[in-house]
Amino acid sequence: MPRNAETPFHSTVKQTGRLFILSAPSGAGKTTLCRALLKHFKGMAYSVSTTTRSPRPGETHGKDYFFVSREEFLRSIQKDEWAEWALVHDHYYGTDAKYLNDQLAAGKDVLLDIDVQGAKKISKRYPESITIFIMPPSFDALRERMQLRGTDSPDVIEKRLSNAGAEMAQSGLYQYIIVNDCLNKALDELISVVRSAGTGPVV
């Protein structure tokens, strides 16, 4: 399918927005696909998650994540400010409820990059969500990608691989599974899913 980076997300006004949930094990290429999707669909909003982990090289506060202290995150839990939150790899991650609700109520379609734990919670709260799982071509390929990234120690990589196996085992809970063995092909498939869901009922 030919891609046009200038294609607007919608040509007609909608009363409510659609929520697209994208999940994948660490190293499967989810972040790259999210960025490409947002560039393609100019009108789509991106829900930036909040985390207590430290930024990785090249990550920007407010763009990739909102980086906060553990204490600040726990205070927000007490105030019930998260649409969902989870403890993953010993760090907290959360989705801001007000931002999500405001965007959807305004008719904006929203892309949410989230782990499997969070996807389950969000899907219950927003049952009309479109859920998509990005699968690596193989477990060995996933290991190689994590090693080449060079941001984690061997112990952390092994822990992430263990968690990745558990996440991949739950991919059947998602409406769509896209194997990222070729970035352009995976992006084409992702664009097709979003376009069909955004212009009519998902089948």
Q: Give φ, ψ of 86 to 5 degrees.
A: -155, 155
Question: Residue 29 carries which DSSP code?
Answer: S
pLDDT tens, N- to C-terminus, the chain (203 residues): 333 333 443 333 344 899 999 999 877 888 899 999 999 999 999 999 999 999 988 899 998 899 999 999 999 999 999 999 988 778 999 999 999 999 999 999 999 999 898 899 999 999 999 999 999 887 777 777 777 776 677 787 777 787 888 889 899 999 999 999 999 999 999 999 999 985 433 33
Instruction: Please tell me the distance from the alpha carbon of residue 146 to that of residue 153, in angstroms, as a whole number.
Output: 10
51 vs 7: CA distance, rounded Å: 32
Q: Which of 188, 157, 189, 184 is nearest to 26 (CA)?
A: 157
Residue 53 identity (one-letter amino acid):
R
Q: Give the global pTM.
A: 0.78
CA separation for the pair 198, 128 (Å, rounded): 12
Say how far residue 177 (Cα) sits from the centre of its chain.
13
Please name the residue that has the structure tokens 């393609």.
Answer: 40
* Helix (H/G/I), strand (E/B), else coil: 33: helix
For residue 193, give the 3-state DSSP assignment: helix
Domains and CATH numbers, the chain: 19-47+107-199 (3.40.50.300)
Q: Given the structure tokens 């046009």, which residue do they identify?
A: 4
Taking a C-beta distance cutoff of 8 angstroms, is the pair 135, 171 a contact?
yes
Q: Give the torsion through C-alpha atoms of 7, 9, 12, 15, to 10 deg.
A: -170
